[in-house]
Amino acid sequence: MTFAELLDRIGGMGRFQVLHVALLVTPVLLTASHNLLQNFSAAIPEHHCQIRLLGNDTHPHANRTLQPATEEDLLWISIPKDQAGKPDKCRRFVIPQWHLLSSNTTDANGTQADTEPCHDGWIYDRSIFTNTIIMEWDLVCNLRTRRQMAQSIYMGGVLVGALVFGSLADRFGRKSVLSWSYLQMAVSGLCTAFSPTFTAYCVFRFLVGMALSGIILNCMSLVLEWVPTKVRTVAGTVVGYSATIGQIILPGLAYALPDWRWLQFAASMPFFAFFLYSWWFAESARWLVLSGKLEQAVGVLKKVAQINGKKEEGEKLTTEVLKSNMQKEMALANSSYTFISLARTPTVRRISCCISSVWFATSFSYYGLAMDLQNFGFSIYLIQVAFGSIDIPAKLVAAIGMSYIGRRTTQASSVILAGLAILANIFVPHDLRTLRTSLAVLGKGCLASSFNCLYLYTGELYPTVIRQTGMGLGSTLARVGGIVAPMVRITGEYFPYLPPIIYGTAPILSGIAAIFLPETLNVPLPDTIEEVERG
């Protein structure tokens, strides 16, 4: 009898599993919000230099007939216009250009007048956002790249968290590391909301990113290790859709809380409640057995059996029963494999190279699109709702494609189509906002499909003995893609078409690489590297 059969005997998808999964996926709603929070907390409002006080102005044109009557007139004579005809964001006239108030003046740009940087700070449009980190620390003009730097630092935390909390979970268990991650998310998120400086903000956001990885990794492990095999796909889909719903909730939360500090506070406080109820969770019995803690495993399984109304079956369990039923799993756990095993043999090496490129490109392009909502010209709230909502049909299409067409074809076509949609936007004029937004939403949906496929496909490609190692490699490359994505956005300051070219080309190349992966539809999961090499 395998562990999966043992789960069926003590209730299968019983009362315990339903409640367990529900409590595990609820925090995922807000982890998705934290992932994209900077779209709102670091939104860039319209801004221009502080206007020089005109009370003692002695300019010869400063006569009574040309005195500025409105704020618009004051702006007109104080701030030059950029190429789009809007007030320049980073320069102002050294001397107010009174002659621009004359009705017959055509030199609206004041091209001959001397200008200077914004020595006295900026004035921001607070009609949409009352306060963002951009306004608070003047992250504009010469400091504008710090916005992307902050997001890269956050994604760096996600990467470090995946490495640290993944290994800690294998050593100390999923439950304790998950509880710690909830607490770290709550505390560091709260500290972020009260950050006195931009440096402190980046440090605490790094810690938030670490906690997010600990939550996602251990949530998924506890979900999949406690549900029967036949409902694993459904359970994994529930976790995925929780993240999708979180993306849709985020703009509503941001609209209600236009001050970034209150938004950060509201997204962090619930994790104290998640930390408190996490102590009810049951540690993974599979992990307890493979760690040699058989008595604890028996105790947990009896508790689960009792909640599921299978107390009699639970009473039959002993350490000897577990040993006899899980000999294969324990033998595999005692085998020694490292990251080198992912590249030691030809077939596994090819799988590692191809699937890693897909992980990197999917995450890279996903965050390149998802963190650039303000450039579409529509309400940032509506764009975020559209970007979140597209995941619902996209993940459904991916699930259908994987079941009927195959994993390889679904995986390759999703990233290639995403890349083509991103590249197509290069040729669409900026005034066709609806078409540009539709193509971006299509690309983001295809990348969501790719993510949905990747988690299942990667687990099926690698044998049991190195499955977690392979998943760790893919996850690491995805985090690297998330770190690099904001940095590529900076190149758009100098070459506007370079970021979309890079964001579009990467998934197309990874889709070509995916074609060389083996198909796993209806193929039994391999347990050893030798089985993979035999094909």
Q: Delineate the domains of the chain, giving CATH numbers in brackets.
A: 1-42+137-334 (1.20.1250.20), 47-124 (no CATH), 337-535 (1.20.1250.20)
Average pLDDT of the chain, as a whole number: 83
pLDDT in tens, 80-128: 887 767 888 888 888 877 777 665 455 555 456 788 888 888 888 888 8
- Smallest CA-to-CA distance from 6 within 294, 306, 286 is with 286
Reading the block at residue 145, the tokens are: 């790249």
The CA radius of gyration of the chain, in Å to the nearest whole number, is: 27
Stretch among 7-11, 184-188, 330-334, 369-373 having the lowest mean pLDDT: 330-334
Round to whole Å and give the CA distance between 521 and 193.
46
Residue 58: per-residue pLDDT: 45
pLDDT in tens, 247-292: 899 999 999 999 999 999 999 999 999 999 988 888 888 778 777 7
SS (H, E, C) 98-167: HHHHCCCCCCCCCCCCCEEECCCCEEECCCCCCECHHHHHCCCHHHCCHHHHHHHHHHHHHHHHHHHHHH
Residue 61: per-residue pLDDT: 47
What pTM did the predictor assign? Answer: 0.82
> What is the share, in percent, of the chain residues with pLDDT greater than 70?
90
Residue 62: per-residue pLDDT: 47
Kindly write down the DSSP assignment for every residue of 416-441, as one continuous string: HHHHHHHHHGGGS-TT-HHHHHHHHH
pLDDT in tens, 77-90: 788 887 767 888 88
Residue 64: per-residue pLDDT: 43
Residue 343: per-residue pLDDT: 82
Work out the widest C-alpha separation in the chain, in whole angstroms: 100
Kindly write down the DSSP assignment for every residue of 254-289, as one continuous string: HHH--BHHHHHHHHHTHHHHHHHHGGGSPPPHHHHH
Q: Which is it for the CA torsion 520, 523, 527, 533, positive or negative?
A: negative
Residue 92: its H or E element: strand 91-93
Helix, strand or coil for residue 24? helix
Residue 336: per-residue pLDDT: 65
Reading the block at residue 467, the tokens are: 């499955």
Round to whole Å and give the CA distance between 159 and 35.
13
374, 380 in Cβ contact below 8 A?
Answer: yes
236 or 296: which leads in pLDDT: 296
Would you tell me how many other CB atoms lie within 10 Å of the CB of residue 249? 18
Residue 45: its H or E element: none
Is 7 a residue whose pLDDT tops 80? Answer: no
Reading the block at residue 417, the tokens are: 């189509």
Would you tell me how many other CB atoms lie within 10 Å of the CB of residue 60? 6
Residue 331: per-residue pLDDT: 67
pLDDT in tens, 178-220: 999 999 999 999 999 999 999 999 999 999 999 998 888 888 7
Tell me which amino acid residue 198 is: F
297 or 273: which leads in pLDDT: 273
Residue 334: per-residue pLDDT: 62
Is 65 a residue whose pLDDT tops 60? Answer: no
| Position 157 confidence tier, pLDDT thresholds 50, 70, 90 | very high
Calculate mean pLDDT across residues 131-157.
Answer: 89
In angstroms, the Cα distances linking 521 to 336, 347, 404, 531 are 29, 18, 8, 16
Round to whole Å and give the CA distance between 479 and 485.
10
Round to whole Å and give the CA distance between 355 and 520.
13
Q: Which residue has the tokens 């059969």?
A: 5
Round to whole Å and give the CA distance between 268 and 194.
12
pLDDT in tens, 454-505: 888 888 888 877 777 788 788 889 989 988 988 888 887 778 888 899 999 9
| Position 507 confidence tier, pLDDT thresholds 50, 70, 90 | very high
What's the chain's length in residues?
Answer: 535
Stretch among 307-311, 360-364, 422-426 having the lowest mean pLDDT: 307-311
Helix, strand or coil for residue 47? strand
